[in-house]
Structure 1
């Protein structure tokens, strides 16, 4: 008799996941801005006891050029343990990897040799467009009933609306468009959910023709980029409520809901205010049946000499923080905020989500600061902490430095380089750069690096249906 057991990297509750073993490998999306070499998945050794700690130990080239890999994710995760999941015995085995510029998706198997991931399926742009009506896949989340893929554009002309496509968990075929009734939702970006409340949340960036050639000053100053959050009935797939943060708050990007399924709040990062170049973090929450969004963190721009600024910022005489990613620890205690413009990673204690307290900060790179890594004190870094990934136990944070090719070029016109840093987290708060971990430069073979995924799961790839004890 065959006995089926769930994948051991799945955890019923956040507290169970926080006690998981430390990751031994990290998978990193590496892309060629010039589209002359294929993009790749790089494999990094994250085991401090290993002789190859902090080095690239595996590499998988993709078969095409010009994909620009972005926010890839696992095929399955802890949501497979939810009571509504029809497939509790799937494995966290495959990486679902979207090409943001090509509209192509790859399915990459990590099981047989985790250091040599193997491409097992390719979903063409034509298939994605014909079956879902979408293009420019951006973010992957593993749901209890399928693999969800956010997309920025429609399948015809590079405009909108953007939305969500769903892939089959087993065959990886495109099932179709998720939305049954989208109301007036048009712009898309990130999404996530409160599974036990049947709520899905989406945010806004812009359509492909608004972002692919870089940030458009006319659109920015005209307040045309996204500034709303949308709340959906997850089961019915219908839009229930939209909340406008105010059109001065441009680009409501990353969403990080509380992991604890008894909680119904989450955080969203806003890239920039057109009124003062500040960035901000807001918390969504429900009151008397209606969702509200409240600003809880303000991060001001930093004055700078004109000659030190790229042309795009010289008229302003300041460096905007540019909050381009946030991440929430699995225990919902610490929120990490990447300020890609100033080169700062901030750590906030959000035990009280309405009153965050800053408890840690490190700087690497930055438009003006160019702060070096401690292991290479003479090397001025470009880029800054951008994509943020937190380990399940909350003790390690990984940051990469590229935002999006054309936007990199505007804010770091002399080159953004490529680097991955690891930040150690002290008990009770406080962070410090690990001087022994710094894959960078030629190790990434001329590619820039973006999303990181941790072997066995991480803070931004799992959702849970059972409360912590």
Structure 2
């Protein structure tokens, strides 16, 4: 008799996930901005007792050029343990890796040799277009009934609307467009959910023509980028409500809902205010029977000598924080905020989500500061904290430095290089760079690095059905 057991990296509740063993490897999306070399998945050793700790120990080149890998994710996670999940025995085995420029999606198997992942399937752009009506896949999330793929563009050359495609857990075939009724939603970016409240949330960036060649000043000053979040009935797949943050708050991007399924709130980061170049973090929450959003963190721009600024910022004489990623610890106690412009990673205590308290800050890189890593104090760094990922126990934080090729070039015209860092987090508050962990430069073979995923799961991989 075959005894089926759930994947041991799945946990019914966030409370149990916090006790998961430490990750031994991290997977990074590495892309070639020139599109002359193939993009790749780089593998980092994160075992502090290993003689190769902090080094690139694996590498998988993709078969094409020009994909520009972006927000990849696991095929399955703890949501497979939900009582209504039709796939309780899938494995967290495959990385689902989208090419934001090419619209290809790669399925990469990590099981046989976790340090040398193997490409087992390639979904061509035509498949995503034909079966779901989308292009420019951006973010991957594993859900109870399949793999969710948020996409920025429409099919057949249509600039929009963007939305969500669903892939099968096992065959990885495109099942179709997720939305039954999208209501007024047109712009897309991230998608997440509250499984305990049958609610899906989406955010807004822009259509492909608005983003793929860089930030368009006329669109920004015209307040045309996304500035709203949308709420959906998760089971009926129908739009229910739009919450507009205000059109001065341009680019409402990363969504981080509470991990505890009994809670009905989450955080969204806003890249920039066109009124003063500040960045902000907002809390969505219930207000009676409706959803509402409240700004809970405001991060001001920093004055700077125009001569030190890239052309896009010289007229303003200031460096905007440019909040391009946020991440919430599995225990819902700590929020991290990446300020890609100023080079600051901020840590907040959010046990009272309406009143975040700043508990830590580290500077590295930055448009003006170019703060070096302590392992190489004489080496100024470009780029800044961008994608941030937290270990399940909340003790380790991983950061990479590239945003998106064309946007990198605008804000860091001398290049961003490539680097990844790890920070140690104090449970009582405070963060510090790990001086032993600094893969950079030639370690990544001329590629830039973006998204991070941790072996066995991380704070932004999983959702849970039990408190």
* TM-score, length-scaled by structure 1: 0.99
- Three-state SS of the structure 2 residue aligned to 1:315 is helix
Partner of 1:256: 256
- Three-state SS of the structure 2 residue aligned to 1:16 is helix
- Three-state SS of the structure 2 residue aligned to 1:130 is helix
- Which structure 2 segments of 5+ residues have no match? none
Partner of 1:221: 221
Cα offsets for 1:289-325 (capped at 9, x unmatched): 1000000000000000010000000000000000000
Counterpart Cα distance in 1 of 2:457 and 2:301: 34
Question: How do 1:320-331 and structure 2 match up within 5 A?
Answer: 320-331=320-331
Partner of 1:465: 465
Is 1:21 matched with 2:21? yes
Partner of 1:185: 185
Is 1:272 matched with 2:290? no
Offset, 1:124: 0.1
Offset, 1:157: 2.0
Offset, 1:288: 1.1
Offset, 1:156: 2.0
Question: How do 1:205-220 and structure 2 match up within 5 A?
Answer: 205-220=205-220
Deviation beyond 4 Å, 4+ runs, structure 1: none
Counterpart Cα distance in 2 of 1:417 and 1:158: 33
Partner of 1:319: 319
Contact 1:106–1:123 (CA under 8 A) maintained in structure 2: yes
- Give the number of equivalent residue pairs: 467
Counterpart Cα distance in 2 of 1:140 and 1:310: 32
Counterpart Cα distance in 2 of 1:134 and 1:157: 10
Is 1:453 matched with 2:453? yes
Question: How do 1:387-466 and structure 2 match up within 5 A?
Answer: 387-466=387-466
Counterpart Cα distance in 2 of 1:287 and 1:243: 12
Counterpart Cα distance in 1 of 2:245 and 2:128: 32
Cα offsets for 1:222-264 (capped at 9, x unmatched): 0000000000000000000001000000000000000001100
Question: How do 1:370-385 and structure 2 match up within 5 A?
Answer: 370-385=370-385
Partner of 2:61: 61
Partner of 1:102: 102
Partner of 1:174: 174
* TM-score, length-scaled by structure 2: 1.00
Partner of 2:282: 282
RMSD (Å), alpha carbons: 0.4
Cα offsets for 1:180-217 (capped at 9, x unmatched): 00011000000100011110000000000000110000
- Which structure 1 segments of 5+ residues have no match? none
Counterpart Cα distance in 2 of 1:300 and 1:203: 22
Counterpart Cα distance in 2 of 1:176 and 1:224: 29
Offset, 1:427: 2.2
Contact 1:158–1:207 (CA under 8 A) maintained in structure 2: no
Contact 1:389–1:453 (CA under 8 A) maintained in structure 2: yes
Partner of 1:131: 131
Is 1:355 matched with 2:355? yes
